[in-house]
Structure 1
Amino acid sequence: MQNQQQNFQGSQGMPAQESHGGHELFDAHEAISTLVGGMEQYLLYEQHIQDPELKTMLQQHKTFLTQTYNTMVETLQTGQEPTVKTKNYNMGQSNDVIYGMQPSQPKTPAQSVNEINDQCVSSYMMSVLKAGATTFTTAALETTNPVLRRVFADSVPNMVEMAYEVFLYQNKNQYYQVPQLKQADMQAIMNSFAPIQGTMPH
């Protein structure tokens, strides 16, 4: 026990830039590489966008993700509080969801670059954001450096918010339809849990 305490105290005295575990570095590298790939894909998609609303959204994401990237890289390299802390992304869409299915043509993969449209681009953006949310979550769960862990953890809700913004845009334009269950089935599932009765444990 005494040796463990001495080792622990010794690790606290390590230079901040060396206070990372091996597994953490692999996951951090994968997460930041995923972010880099996503930012580069955004560059490619922008030229294919027709709708000014979608173009504005993509540009706002790009700006926000650039700062996220810089914050992550700085924290990875220093192990210290970053110069610019993680901020909250605030989406521009209203959160009204259109439920139900409307008849639509079956989709097939585009066969030429000319067929890449706003529906395609918004779908690609969603894939980028889902990948980011997944790798940031994994990295946060494996990171030993407390500052880097917090940067990854705090970035997950921003990826979720951007993905929700893209979903709302897709839903509004009937690119992403939301089927519902029958009323009785919905009620059965919603009522399938009950609160714990009595005093809550302290």
Structure 2
Amino acid sequence: MFNQQQNQNFQGSSQMPDHQSHGGHEMFDAHEAISSLIGGLEQGLLYEQHIQDPELKTMLQKHKTFLTQMYNTIVETLNTGQEPSQKTQTYMMSDSNNVLYGMKPTQPKTPAQAVTELNDQCISSFMMGNLKATASGFTMTALETTNPVLRRVFADSVPNLIEMAYEIFLYQNKRQYYQVPQLKPEEMQIYMSCFAPVQNPMQH
């Protein structure tokens, strides 16, 4: 009797209207993830007035446009539980994938003591931090979202956030804000040779 009643309750809950087909846990995660995205967009308003480099300002504006559409798509999906009218887009960065390797001496960094000390290096780092936080939040949310459409929207948004963050990394690297050390060739080879493929994996 108890199991039969449980099954009836479960069936009833699975037939809820689409806009209510969300679990409580995913509601908490989704709100946190969306709030992270909002925070990044709002902080961008503060950054823009302090940017000196036109390239960085253009990048910020391009990110803002894309992230705003991403936000609208997620909010619509959250409210309806159905396919959004505007599908998830694909972000295309404008820079090449050329990375500068090696380290050069730089002045030790200290925290800015006044707003006037905030420069493009600081601002590009803020932008990177916001995208990292949002990408992490979206990933964690997608792992436990019960509504299949909302889960896919969060999951499909993560590669776009990664692409934007990588674009900022390349910008920072080109200006030596973000230097990339390398191992000695022989050490690199040792690390690259640490793993080997499984031979004849068992078929199940």
Aligned to 2:113: 111
Matched, 1:188 2:190: yes
User: Residue 109 of structure 1: CA displacement?
Assistant: 0.9
Using the alignment, how far apart are the partners of 1:145 and 1:195 within structure 2? 37
What are the within-5 Å matches in structure 2 for residues 54-69 of structure 1? 54-69=56-71
Q: Which moved more, 1:188-197 or 1:168-177?
A: 188-197
Aligned to 2:87: 85
Displaced runs of 4 or more, over 6 A = none
CA-to-partner distance for each residue in 1:99-127, whole Å, 9 max, x for gaps? Answer: 00011111111111111111111000000
- The count of residues paired between Structure 1 and Structure 2 equals 202
User: Residue 4 of structure 1: CA displacement?
Assistant: 5.8
Aligned to 2:33: 31
The one-letter code sitting in structure 1 at the alignment partner of 2:17 is: P
Using the alignment, how far apart are the partners of 1:42 and 1:167 within structure 2? 17
Unaligned runs of 5+ in 2: none
Using the alignment, how far apart are the partners of 1:116 and 1:12 within structure 2? 52
What are the within-5 Å matches in structure 2 for residues 48-59 of structure 1? 48-59=50-61
When residues 22 and 91 of structure 1 are mapped into structure 2, their CA distance, relative to the original with a 3 A threshold, is same
Aligned to 1:72: 74
Using the alignment, how far apart are the partners of 1:200 and 1:48 within structure 2? 58
| Superposition TM-score, scaled by structure 2 size | 0.94
Q: Which moved more, 1:3-12 or 1:75-84?
A: 3-12
User: Residue 66 of structure 1: CA displacement?
Assistant: 0.2
When residues 2 and 87 of structure 1 are mapped into structure 2, their CA distance, relative to the original with a 3 A threshold, is farther
Using the alignment, how far apart are the partners of 2:137 and 2:25 within structure 1? 13
Q: What SS does the corresponding residue of 1:83 show, helix, strand or coil? A: coil
Aligned to 2:163: 161
Using the alignment, how far apart are the partners of 1:15 and 1:177 within structure 2? 52
Using the alignment, how far apart are the partners of 2:91 and 2:9 within structure 1? 40
Provide the aligned C-alpha RMSD in A.
Answer: 1.4
**Identity score, percent:** 73
User: Residue 13 of structure 1: CA displacement?
Assistant: 1.6
Matched, 1:133 2:118: no
The one-letter code sitting in structure 1 at the alignment partner of 2:113 is: Q
Using the alignment, how far apart are the partners of 2:133 and 2:201 within structure 1? 41
| Superposition TM-score, scaled by structure 1 size | 0.95
